[in-house]
Amino acid sequence: MKRVYNFNAGPAALPKEVLKRAQQELLDFDATGMSVMELSHRSNEYEKVHNKAATRLKELLDIPDSYDVLFMQGGASLQFSAIPMNFLPKGKIGNYSLTGSWSEKALKEAGKLGDTHIASSTKETGYMSIPSHLELSDAPAYLHITSNNTIFGTQWRSFPSLSPDVPLIADMSSDILSRPVNIEDFSIIYAGAQKNLGPSGVTVVIIKKELLEQCPENIPTMLNYRIFAKNRSLYNTPPTFSIYMLSLVLEWVAEQGGVAAIEKYNQKKAELIYETIDQSEGFYIGHAQKDARSHMNVTFNLATEELTAAFLSEASEAGFVGLAGHRMIGGCRASIYNAVPLESCEALAEFMNSFRTKYR
Ligand SMILES: Cc1ncc(COP(=O)(O)O)c(C=O)c1O
């Protein structure tokens, strides 16, 4: 069996050890005589899986008891609607910092449900950077940011500090668990699992408990954070297999030394590729401004579309998968999430250097 160098943006590479473990346990999970997918979500066996996933996440991210961990569905995209439904009442304004297409989408959904305001944006300069200042509206309901911009390859290195009455909400879909963060700086963190946490199907929400009182009664049950919290994300059938995989990925992160160790490893991987770009004498052109470079998604271009096409085609022949940029902006993108090994990045750097020697 040959495994490729997987640089997919999401769903993305999973740790090989996790896949093997899932394979081993697939037919007979924990001596139940069935797969974890076949367990009732009301069984004790599943209950253990569910609780372990939440506990492991709390431990790894050092989540205080004043926060709940929820497992929801509908992807990060449904959170774009759930947040204003729960926390954007009449008379208040949802503030958004625009750093790419995902934050634009979050803003668009909120605009259907209430009043919004763009507190900052780097759109005019092609989303190459992270905003340096914010202008909040009057009566802000919250500020929403996207901590890592999967498409443009930028990442907030430090987060805005707001007055305590303005909740900071972060879409961390593409960098959760890649570096330590101070959970108490945020009121809500959410992330679709399919980049750093596991397979698609589950969306993790970390929410300050005191906010739950504000969730209105008259919104759909499946979008109400209070109901998810009250029922420990078991109001209806949760995505049991995805949560099981999430739990295995979290166990793997702990085995790697936890989030601080993962961050160091990620830095090394990112530096390797950015150095290859920087030392290429302009052959590879990085998209993000240096101080805003993402450690998760490295975006770059080559001088012409023909050269980019040749690069992607030869890379594909050499066993590299997922290097084409997002269909909206083209170019190239290497997504180097937690489970992408250093060896894949080394192989990519080597390939980039030899491609440059051949075509410069
Ligand atoms: C930062 C960010 N937010 C939101 C989304 C949308 O996630 P989903 O497909 O889970 O709805 C993505 C998907 O790539 C993303 O990268």
C-alpha 263, offset from chain centre: 14
Pairing mode of beta strands 140-146, 168-171: parallel
Predicted structure pTM score: 0.98
**pLDDT tens by residue, 62-95:** 999 999 999 999 999 999 999 999 999 999 999 9
Which residue's CA is the nearest one to ligand 1's atom 10?
Answer: 75
**pLDDT tens by residue, 279-335:** 999 999 999 999 999 999 999 999 999 999 999 999 999 999 999 998 888 899 999
Q: Determine the pLDDT at residue 328.
A: 82
Q: Determine the pLDDT at residue 1.
A: 80
pLDDT mean over 165-190 = 98
CATH topology of domain 16-255: Aspartate Aminotransferase; domain 2 (3.40.640)
Pocket test for ligand 1, best of 98, 99, 150, 189 (most atoms within 8 A of CB): 150
**pLDDT tens by residue, 223-276:** 999 999 999 999 999 999 999 999 999 999 999 999 999 999 999 999 999 999
What distance in angstroms lies between residue 16's CA and the mean position of ligand 1's atoms? 23
pLDDT mean over 18-24 = 98
Q: Atom of ligand 1 at shortest distance to CA of 147?
A: 1
Q: Determine the pLDDT at residue 45.
A: 98
What distance in angstroms lies between residue 286's CA and the mean position of ligand 1's atoms? 22
pLDDT mean over 213-218 = 97
Using CA atoms, how far residue 216 sits from 208, 212, 219, in Å, is: 16, 9, 6
pLDDT band at 129 (very low <50, low <70, confident <90, very high): very high
Domains of the chain, by residue range, sit at 16-255, 257-359
Element (H, E) at 111: helix 101-111
Distance CA 88, CA 71 (A): 22
Which residue's CA is the nearest one to ligand 1's atom 4?
Answer: 76
Which residue's CA is the nearest one to ligand 1's atom 5?
Answer: 76
CATH topology of domain 257-359: Aspartate Aminotransferase, domain 1 (3.90.1150)
Q: Does 294 contact ligand 1 (Cβ within 6 A)?
A: no
Q: Atom of ligand 1 at shortest distance to CA of 10?
A: 14
Distance CA 204, CA 223 (A): 13
Q: How much of the chain exceeds pLDDT 70, in percent?
A: 100
What distance in angstroms lies between residue 52's CA and the mean position of ligand 1's atoms? 25
Which residues, listed in sequence order, are joined to residue 302 by a DSSP beta bridge? 284
